[in-house]
Amino acid sequence: MASNGNGSLANGASTRGKPIKCKAAVAWGPSEPLTMEEVEVAPPGRLENELQSKFPRILGHEAAGVVESVGEGVEDLAAGDHVVPIFNGECGACAYCESDKTNLCGTYRVNPFKSTMASDGGTRFSVVDGTGERRPVYHFLNTSTFAEYTVLDAACAVKVHPKAPLDKMCLLSCGISTGVGAAWNTANINTGSTVAVFGLGAVGLAVAEGARLRGAARIIGIDINSEKFTKGKEMGVTDFIDSKACDKPVHEVIREMTDGGVDCSFECTGINDVLREAFLSTHDGWGLTVILGIHATPKMMPLHPMELFDGRRITGCVFGDFKGKSQLPDLVDKFMNGRLNLNFDGFITHNMSFSDINKAFQLLEEGKSLRSVLHF
């Protein structure tokens, strides 16, 4: 599937099934700024769709667009369909997809090191480098959305309501789905639940939004940036803790506030010490900690096995435990017909040109944005 960012068909039938040249934000190496390059995007192959951990690489995993063309064997999508790419795909045929116990897929699960297409191990992107040689550009998280056009497997493209605003639907590719789903599907928050959210970035605030929609009685937000507390209140956070200002461990503060601990805690920072605080902040006997933060260091989990005998549990969560292709369309339909009051606008702090992508990353790194929507 090929898409441009404003949701209109790009070039139409004149490009369908042909190589397309377009702009993409290319990562040439780890920690290097992205550069805008003209890349060539090969047509989709069997069971692939074209949407408008090797380097160079096209990063990005949150987007929304319009199908430009489909490859052989694609039956559930057609040119003109509005879609949301998902990094945690759903083939619908493997043992994982057929199970109601997991949202993982045997083929299209999260793997940041995977850099090629599942169908043939190749890449659909290429670029002419400084020497005049054409070289491959590799894929990222099954999606590679930092481009005007991208190619992805049909298992990683979710068809949504044709009138759904794409500048909002792009948030379902990860941030909102991950946080809201963690509250709904993983923790099964219900009326009267008490919740602690560690880290009030986009995912943490999405957890709060999900808990609010489920009727949680108390939602405690914990962060080192007090400026996030105002936004947190908008998303349903009822109490705030600035962990830098505490004169005792945060879990002790939370236990005192909640008569023994919260029902559920969510770790959204990817920091081991924070994970331990989140775990200890839950009530013994039934407390659940959900890990959402990406822990990039090789450090092991900071828990002793005997601590689990107090009845506290801990689990990870990928993509909010949503089965993307099966369940996201219904969520979008409920939003469109007014049955789900999901605050998409609250997560969008900036609207920027695609060419300003490095500025958008700088805002995120400085803690000045939640999500910057890039427009082509």
pLDDT tens-digit profile, the chain (376 residues):
333 444 333 345 567 778 899 889 989 888 888 998 989 998 887 766 655 457 899 999 999 999 999 999 999 999 999 999 999 999 999 999 999 999 999 999 998 888 999 989 999 999 998 888 999 999 999 999 999 999 999 999 999 999 999 999 999 999 999 999 999 999 999 999 999 999 999 999 999 999 999 999 999 999 999 889 999 999 999 999 999 999 999 999 999 999 999 999 999 999 999 999 999 999 999 999 999 998 877 788 899 999 999 999 999 999 999 999 999 999 999 999 999 999 999 999 999 999 999 999 999 999 899 999 999 8
157 within 8 A of 69, measured Cβ to Cβ: no
In the chain the first and final C-alpha atoms are separated, in Å, by: 16
Q: Give the closest residue to 183 by CA, choosing from 206, 160, 167, 149.
A: 206
The Cα–Cα gap between 317 and 266 comes to 10
List beta partners, residue 36: 25
**Domain spans of the chain?**
12-173+344-375, 180-320
Nearest CA-CA partner of 18 in 39, 40, 48, 47: 40
Alpha-carbon dihedral sign for residues 1, 103, 146, 139: negative
Q: Count the alpha carbons within 13 Å of 237 in the hemisphere toward its beta carbon.
A: 24
Q: Which residue has the tokens 């507390």?
A: 229
Pair of tokens at residue 302: 């900071």
In contact, 89 and 324? CB cutoff 8 Å: yes
- For residues 24 and 77, what is the distance between their CA atoms, to the nearest angstrom? 24
Q: Which residue has the tokens 């997560």?
A: 347
In whole angstroms, how large is the CA radius of gyration of the chain? 21
- May I ask the CATH class of domain 180-320? alpha beta
Q: Which residues partner with 218 through β-bridges?
A: 194
Q: Which amino acid is at 202?
A: A
12-173+344-375: CATH topology is: Quinone Oxidoreductase; Chain A, domain 1 (3.90.180)
167: helix, strand or coil? helix
Tokens of 237: 């956070």
